[in-house]
Copies of this chain bind each other. A is one copy, B any other.
Amino acid sequence: MALPTHAEDFPGWYQEVVKQAGLAEPSLARGTMVIKPYGYGIWERIQRAVDDRIKATGHENLYFPLLIPNKLLEKEAQHVEGFAPEVAVVTHAGGEKLEEPLVVRPTSEAIIWATYAKWIQSYRDLPLLYNQWCNVVRWELRPRVFLRTTEFLWQEGHTAHETADEAIAEALLILREVYVDAVEKVLGIPVIPGRKSASERFPGAEETLTMEAMMRDRKALQAGTSHYLGQNFAKAYGVQFQGRDGEQQYAYATSWGVSTRLVGAVIMTHGDDKGLRLPPEVAPYEIVIVPIYKSDDERLRVMEALSRVKVALAGRRVKVDDREQLRPGYKYNEWELKGVPLRIELGPRDAAANHVVVARRDTGKKETVGVDALAERARRLLEEIQANLFRDAKDFREVNTFTPTDYEDFKATIAAGGGFLQGAWCGDPECEAQIKADTKATIRFLPLQPEQPGEPCIHCGKPGTERATWALAY
């Protein structure tokens, strides 16, 4: 079935690509999804990229339980206010009603900080630099596969520090060295690191850092967040330690996460009207080979050449599509839909000439490559595709980043298709709320280093205190 184009129906395009490429499908419990092998293969490569960087920056993995006593969640006031409406509650287990209901974790600050209270006695126990890979459940009213699901997979890091400065540095380190690095280099998604405004902060955070990406419909997607939590959780859960000065003090916290939402980001950053375009680094298959033949004799010669091609590509993630009942043209369309970076066509004439035809998914360009030169050429082409997809997405973002001259221009720009809108903001949450009410645009990020703009607030005209970037968002 043909995909809708981006221009005619982007949400419909997204839904159809997810379905037709075999990435995921809605499951039976409300808002849940089955992540199918092709989608999970992308997630495994994202996990590897993020996990390698988490470890390289000195963190260790561990695992905390799924089920959290309800009363534990209630200890941090903002946290419970933010999450209580979204939790799933276990009231019965082992055939009996539980005395104390258990919530399925929506995030793990509560159980982790209740446990850190036992682990942290002295400044010598600090820092704790821990992360876990797990599932979380948040009851979503408007679920959308990968982007907003009742259950999703993620990693959540939770660190404890002696000083505020150290915790703030940690939140920044994760944002830059782990998240931005992995997402730009491996997922090929250009992102802008920044701070959230107070109204968009994580419940219980002093500061929420974010990286924001632009999707092909010009909407923003929050691709990951890193929170400086101050002493809020240490105070709520009684995590005190003896400091270097001999005094008891509360530990400083960070938490940070990226999730299966990133699969959605890959789809919506790189896809085109033909389907997915996967950056080689996250593609389950870097290369698909389609052997082409009619007679048994041709088949024999093509298959013999195929074995040489496979040897040349040893070490690469290669799929051979040797399904008998399908025509080459059908296969080309299917693998284009699935976004495999390189397609190799191998027919009887190619076999005789000891070469293959290589087609790039990103540009559609084809070239003939000798089997002897194939390993090196494939390596080079995959690097080029990785770089080209990143550049292409960055160009798209730059073309769709605007500096409205006044609020009328701001509203007109949103109405004309949106994008990133940069301007001055007075810092007043009411002004922010009014802009959202008028246009649905929200502040996606403020610069990491606050800058005093010379201009007045784009909305109210009072003196600007921050440079903000607005967008419609997922």
A residues lining the B interface (CB < 8 Å):
27-29, 32-37, 39-41, 43-44, 60-69, 72, 84-95, 101-102, 104, 111, 114-115, 124, 130, 134-135, 137, 139, 141, 150-151, 153, 325
Contact = CB atoms under 8 A, between A and B. Distances in A.
A90 B93 contact: no
A64 B135 CA distance: 11
Contacts of A87: 93
Contacts of A135: 66, 134-135
A67 B137 contact: yes
Nearest to A39: B62
Given A40-B60, A63-B34, A93 B27 contact: no
A65 B111 contact: no
Nearest to A51: B44
Contacts of A63: 34-35, 40, 43, 153
Contact of A88 (B92, B111, B153): B92
Contact of A141 (B27, B44, B94, B115): B94
Contacts of A90: 88-91, 104
B34 A62 contact: yes
Mostly, the A contact residues are mixed
A102 B115 contact: no
A461 B64 CA distance: 51
Copies of the polypeptide in the assembly: 2
Given A28-B72, A104-B104, A61 B40 contact: yes
Contact of A89 (B29, B92, B114): B92
The 7 A-B residue pairs whose C-beta atoms are closest, nearest first, are: A94-B139, A32-B65, A37-B60, A88-B93, A35-B63, A89-B92, A29-B67
Contacts of A28: 65, 68-69, 72, 111, 114
A312 to B, nearest CB: 21
Contacts of A85: 94-95
Contact of A60 (B41, B62, B130, B139): B41
B88 A102 contact: yes
A67 B28 CA distance: 9
Given A37-B61, A65-B151, A67-B88, 18 more contacts: A27-B64, A27-B65, A29-B65, A29-B68, A29-B102, A32-B65, A34-B65, A36-B62, A41-B60, A43-B63, A66-B151, A85-B94, A85-B95, A90-B104, A91-B91, A93-B139, A104-B104, A124-B325
A60 B41 CA distance: 8
A66 B105 CA distance: 12
Given A34-B115, A89-B91, A89-B92, A69 B134 contact: no
Contacts of A69: 28-29
Contacts of A89: 90-93
Nearest to A84: B95
B130 A37 contact: yes
A3 B421 CA distance: 64
A27 B104 CA distance: 14
Most buried by B among A85, A88, A93, A111: A93
29 contacts: A27-B64, A28-B65, A28-B69, A28-B111, A29-B102, A32-B67, A34-B62, A34-B63, A34-B115, A35-B63, A39-B62, A40-B63, A41-B61, A65-B151, A66-B104, A67-B137, A67-B151, A84-B95, A87-B93, A88-B93, A88-B102, A89-B91, A90-B91, A90-B104, A94-B139, A94-B141, A95-B139, A104-B104, A134-B135
Contacts of A141: 94
Contacts of A34: 62-65, 115
Nearest to A35: B63
A124 B90 CA distance: 41
Nearest to A112: B34
A450 B447 CA distance: 71
